[in-house]
A = this chain, B = another copy of it.
């Protein structure tokens, strides 16, 4: 690798601007640690004149970002536009084909096209780096790729979305409802204007797909996986499960079960004294279970320009040190397509909350239905609301399979004493963390 390296940054939002300032400010640190002299040759964004915390020179500005990817002077392209298709994809594909190293923070792009992009990177013998796409302040991708490289990983559990973790934590702290806290989160910059993918589980699903591929050396799965968000969680659930010794967290989980992969994203009841039950606010965390390293736990800030930039910089330094690696640890052609576990056979305890009319026989009609579906009860707590003449029936079941729960809830739809659609949240059984 030559000594003087030219980099181009496409996308100058909060993260892009922060990152550009970092590479300019840290030029001497980069030289010191990598021996390379880095030059920010080009930048590009949708709007040249938008007010932003990074000031570029006129000669650095390129109107059509695709031109950057074809410019022979450019060595590294950093894509910070976002979205899985359209311009972002075109830029990354063209950059790799033109033998540029690529750094991106774009999780949806990787979750959707990461297989093809890693193939292109290997074919063109360049780096394709994406540390910032998952839990930015935690060097989780690098830790799986390097620190834990020789381990057999069995399972990864993560809190991978800061927005939803913030909302769940604040709901507990304040006793306020989802919508109110969501507004608060938007106000403080912890939720985007359109937070849909943060709250419906899609964001975590992209991250889990990327992590799965790293953990198990598989192709990124195209399967439909179990994805459930936090839209339906009410403060009542948070208060009631706390009485039962639990806290609700939106988890991303991936594991291998008999050579089949089981990726899932859903809110989960976790022990209030567990490690994962105590990750609050915008923090991200992950627990990796592997052999022979055992449990490896990592926690850090999951978003924001600073932590994201820290991750982008680690990609940059890695490229500058001249370390060309397979983007997903093993060569593309050796990564296997793998079947998804059929989650209707997934066996777990679950929490059910039924809002019912406070009349005799209602509880027994529910428990009877559970019994008919072979679902047995571990804990039951009935909380009456005398004013409304209703009651909240909270149940933790023993382990049962998903399809029985679905069946049971379907049947209970006809029960006229149940006044609203029941809440149903899975319970995690994580040993030792």
Contacts and interface: CB of A to CB of B under 8 A. Distances in A.
Interface string A290-334: 111111111111000111011101101110011101100111001
A72 to B, nearest CB: 26
A396 B148 CA distance: 42
Nearest to A147: B139
A180 interface: no
A310 B295 contact: no
A149 B334 contact: no
Interface string A195-228: 0000000000000000000000000000000000
A342 interface: no
A142 B146 contact: yes
Nearest to A26: B150
A295 B299 CA distance: 8
A297 B321 CA distance: 26
A331 B33 CA distance: 7
A300 B294 contact: yes
Contacts of A358: none
Contacts of A143: 139, 142-143, 147
A139 B293 CA distance: 10
Given A29-B150, A142-B146, A149-B33, A306 B291 contact: yes
B310 A137 contact: no
Contact of A296 (B22, B150, B299, B329): B299
Contact of A334 (B32, B316, B329): B32
B306 A137 contact: no
A326 B294 contact: no
Contact of A300 (B146, B296, B322): B296
Interface residues of A, number: 53
Q: Could you say how many copies of this chain the assembly holds? A: 2
Interface in A321-376: 321-323, 325-326, 329-331, 334
Given A32-B331, A146-B139, A295 B306 contact: no
A138 interface: yes
A155 to B, nearest CB: 15
Nearest to A313: B150
A271 interface: no
A323 B322 contact: yes
Q: Name which of A146, A314, A330 has the most chain B CB atoms within 10 A of its CB.
A: A146
A75 interface: no
Contacts of A309: 150, 292
A131 interface: yes
A126 to B, nearest CB: 15
A330 to B, nearest CB: 5
A151 interface: yes
Contacts of A32: 330-331, 334
A26 B138 CA distance: 28
Contacts of A314: 146-150
A148 B310 contact: yes
A22 B152 CA distance: 12
A295 B301 contact: yes
Contacts of A317: 146, 149-150
A374 B337 CA distance: 70
A151 to B, nearest CB: 6
B329 A325 contact: no
10 contacts: A18-B292, A26-B150, A137-B293, A137-B295, A139-B296, A146-B314, A150-B314, A291-B306, A296-B298, A321-B323
Report, nearest first, the 4 A-B pairs whose CB atoms are least far apart: A139-B147, A292-B306, A150-B313, A293-B310
Given A33-B329, A146-B317, 8 more contacts: A29-B150, A146-B314, A148-B314, A149-B314, A150-B313, A150-B314, A294-B301, A295-B301
